[in-house]
Amino acid sequence: MIYLLLAILGSGVIPVIFRAFEGWRVNLFWAIPVNYVTCVVIGSVLAGDSFSFSQLIVQPWIALAALQGLLLAVNFFLLAHTAQRAGVAIAALASRLSVAIPSVLAFLLYGDSLTPLKIAGLAAALVALYLCTAPDKLSGALNSKLFQLMPLLVFLTFGCYFTILKYLQTHYLDAATYHGYVMAGFGFAFLSSLAIGFGKGVISTAEFRVLHVVAGLGLGLVNYVAVYSLLRVLALAGWQSSQLYPIYSVGVVAVSTVLAFICFRERLSRQKALGLAVGLVAVALLNR
Q: Cα separation of 261 and 268, whole Å?
A: 8
pLDDT digit string (tens) for the chain, length 288 residues? 799 999 999 999 998 998 899 889 898 888 999 999 999 999 888 877 666 778 888 899 999 999 999 998 888 888 887 777 766 766 776 676 676 678 778 888 887 777 888 788 778 877 876 776 666 655 554 445 555 566 667 778 888 988 898 899 889 998 888 888 988 999 999 999 988 888 777 666 777 889 999 999 999 999 999 999 999 998 887 788 877 887 888 888 789 888 988 998 877 778 877 877 887 787 777 666
The domain total for the chain is 1
96 close to 244: Cβ distance less than 8 angstroms? no
What is the per-residue pLDDT for 142?
45
User: 26 — alpha (psi -120 to 50), left (phi > 0) or beta?
Assistant: beta
State which residues form the domain around 146: 2-286
Q: Cα separation of 59 and 190, whole Å?
A: 19
What is the per-residue pLDDT for 278?
84
pTM (global) more than 0.85: no
Q: Cα separation of 209 and 187, whole Å?
A: 23
186 close to 73: Cβ distance less than 8 angstroms? no
61 close to 168: Cβ distance less than 8 angstroms? yes
Instruction: Name the residue among 81, 43, 26, 74 with its Cα closest to residue 184.
Output: 43
Residue burial 16-35, b: 16+ Cβ < 10 Å; e: rest = bbbbbbeeeebbbbbbbbbb
pLDDT tens for each residue of 127-161: 876 776 666 655 554 445 555 566 667 778 888 98
Report the C-alpha dihedral over residues 277, 282, 287, 288, rounded to 10 degrees. 100
Q: Which letter does DSSP use for residue 214 in this model?
A: H
Q: What angle do CA 39, 182, 77 make, to 5 degrees?
A: 60
What is the per-residue pLDDT for 77?
85
Residue 276 identity: L
